[in-house]
Structure 1
Amino acid sequence: MKRSTPWLLSAPALCLFVTLLVTPLLLTALLSFNGFDPNTGVKDGEYTLAHYATVFTDSYYLGIFWRTFWTAGLTTLICVLIGTPQAYVLSRMGSPWRSILLLVVLAPLLVSVVVRAFGWSMLLGPEGLINQALMALGIGRVKLLYTEAAVLIALVHVMLPFMIIPVWTSLQKLDPSVAQAAASLQAGPFTIARRIVLPQVLPGILSGSLIVFGLAASSFAIPGLLGGRRLKMVATIVYDEYLHELNWPQGAAVALTLLVANLIVMLSYNRLLERRYQKALG
């Protein structure tokens, strides 16, 4: 009875997990192997690898996957460079300024991502506030909307809280007296940051990077609204295949390829940083 108790207690969560995640993934995987005819639709009972062959051999899909992961990686890098110092400043602040800054960091999460994307489209548009300021300075109008830069700016804005919070949580475990002791032993600020602070915040950077990369690579609303019809990413392609082309098997194949590629990149990144973290502690 004692051995079965943990399984009985976790049974509701396991059932929910299987029903809401595993079952839809299995059905999507099965759908991705179905044949497809533009005239009749999905062919039940007929299975093929043609959809995956198209994903891995067509330069159109390969280019979209490259753009997606390049944008997600660049978003993650910028969030690390901006979010880590901001989390450090947040951890060193006292009341009530820490609560105020924390509210500022979390405030964007209270607004729908679609609303934020529309806000950026108004700022970056031809008649937006940024272009009006550039024209007032005599620089002239610059095309910002429907570019990779617009997608990148909005993704960084949306994903930054997911980087700041894990790093800030890691910094809560850092004993300030350790850094003070290092400073008393004539250690410089760079040495303190590299030998004391960085090993402590590396787990937070790792977890935040994984969250930001995964969310950025699978983002749909921001690329769809700020990238336009020409600047596509994988999530927008899945949407088009399902609702515009009605090629559900092809859309399922693209979606599962994105999932597997995302897992490979994130697990490899996790293994690499864990090794460096263990070496730093050693």
Structure 2
Amino acid sequence: MSEPKVREMTPEARRKVRAFLMTVPALAVLALVLLAPLVIVVARSVTEPQPGLENYRWFFATPVNLTVLARTFKVAFWVTLLCVVVAYPYAFAMSVAGRKLRLLLILCVLVPFWVSGVVRTFAWVILLQDSGLINKTLLAMGFEKIRLIRTQTGVTIGMVQILLPFMIMPLYSVMRGIDLRLLLAARSLGARPVASFFQIYLPLSLPGVFAGATIVFILALGFYITPLLLGGASSTLLSTLIQQQVLSLLNWGHGGAMGVVLLAATFGGLLIAAPLMRRRYPVTGGER
């Protein structure tokens, strides 16, 4: 846009144009690192080894692929649900705690980010194996061993621990804006604690639940290292099959088709959940 035309605009319009121009470099980088690889994957899925939709026909005609796709979404759902159950009371404790205790709780959430995910997963391998700390503790308490390694349960435990911070922080940011005097007012009007929680506090905290659940669910769908190290043949996720097709078999067509199907299924799930996420819940009060 030429300089004379910019001068003819209103001050508000000029600010918007300049703000957009300032975002152009970031948008270019984003397109380069995200859109370009995505376009390449989609193109290879319909051009290798020959042009057409044969790779997608192969995917949907192979029962193993559909089974693994369903398992991937199942594991992601359970991981998300467990993260909500564990993170909600923890985030609530962070929001109502005093300053020193809050800093300690936040530090406990941030410390895992300072350790590699591979290292944390190997730690779970040690804990979950048949002769690991968990089974030794069960034996010492008089219980029988539980097979956790190379199972879907072990994969779920490892993924929940790694993804938990992504659920806690959005919840905490929303809960810090909820005025707890609303609960006191409800109590003074005769409402029971359980009723005031479900009718007042829970609806106000739902935006944090939806935001955290969306992040965790999307990240869980693409997990690779944790299912590979903690899981077995019966707990294989789609990311592992994609890796096998691309790196082991050098079949970019099949791998690209798998990736595109997973991406399309993810967007489909988000479209289904969008009406709930678009609902607005008023948050009364400011940060305490």
TM-score, with normalisation over the residues of structure 2? 0.89
Match of 2:188 in 1: 184
Given residue 195 of structure 1, which amino acid in structure 2 is its aligned partner? Answer: Q
Deviations 1:244-276, CA, capped at 9 Å, x for gaps: 11111100110111111112112321323434x
Letter in 2 for 1:247: N
Cα distance, 1:57 vs structure 2: 2.5
Query: Does the CA contact (< 8 Å) of 2:203 and 2:281 recur in 1?
Result: no
In 1, Cα distance between equivalents of 2:78 and 2:18:
46
Partner of 1:11: 24
165, 171, 174: which one aligns with 2:175: 171
State the alpha-carbon separation in 2 of the partners of residues 88 and 7 from structure 1: 38
CA deviation after TM superposition for structure 1 residue 225, in Å: 0.6
2:257 is matched with which residue: 245, 253, 260?
Answer: 253
The number of aligned residues is 271
Q: Given the alignment, which residue of 42, 50, 62 partners 1:29?
A: 42
Residue correspondence of structure 1 range 1-282 to structure 2 within 5 A:
1=6, 2=14, 4-36=17-49, 46-275=50-279
Using the alignment, how far apart are the partners of 2:19 and 2:105 within structure 1?
Answer: 41
How far apart, CA to CA, are the structure 2 residues paired with 1:198 and 1:162? Answer: 19
Secondary structure of residue in 1 paired with 2:161 = helix
Q: Which letter maps to 1:80?
A: V
Report the secondary structure of 1:256's partner residue: helix
Deviation at 1:140, TM superposition (A): 3.4
Q: C-alpha displacement at 1:230, in angstroms? A: 4.7
Secondary structure of the equivalent of 1:173?
A: coil
Distance in 2 between residues matched to 1:10 and 1:145, nearest whole Å: 47
Paired residue secondary structure (1:89): helix
User: What is the rounded CA distance, in whole Å, between the counterparts of 2:82 and 2:264 in structure 1?
Assistant: 24
Deviation at 1:81, TM superposition (A): 1.2
Q: Which moved more, 1:81-90 or 1:217-226?
A: 81-90
Return the offset for 1:229. Answer: 4.6
Residue 187 of structure 1 deviates from its aligned partner by 1.1
- Name the aligned partner's letter for residue 174 of structure 1: I
| Larger CA deviation: 113-122 vs 176-185 | 176-185
Q: Quick check: 1:125–1:145 contact (8 Å CA) kept in 2?
A: yes
- The alignment partner of 2:232 has SS state of coil
Deviation at 1:22, TM superposition (A): 0.9
SS in 1 for 2:48: strand
Indicate the SS of the match to 1:163.
helix
| Per-residue deviation, 1:196 | 1.4
Range that drifts further, 252-261 or 205-214: 252-261
- The aligned residue for residue 9 of structure 2 is none
SS at match of 1:33: helix
Q: What is the RMSD of the two structures over their aligned residues, measured on CA atoms?
A: 1.9
CA deviation vs aligned residue, 1:36-61 (integer Å, no higher than 9, x gap): 2xxxxxxxxx3021111122221100
Contact 1:206 1:270 in 2 (8 A): no
Amino acid paired to 1:126: D
CA distance in 2, matches of 1:139, 1:86: 29
Which one-letter code corresponds to 1:5 in the other structure? Answer: R
- Where in structure 1 are there 5+ consecutive unaligned residues? 37-45
Mapped partners of 1:205, 1:18: distance in 2 = 29
Once the 2 structures are TM-superposed, how far is the Cα of residue 134 of structure 1 from its aligned partner?
2.4
Distance 1:269 1:178 in 2: 29
Name the CA distance, whole Å, in 1 between partners of 2:257 and 2:152: 25
Q: Which portions of structure 1, spanning 4 or more consecutive aligned residues, are displaced by more than 6 angstroms?
A: none
Deviations 1:221-250 (A, max 9, x none): 100110135531011111110111111110
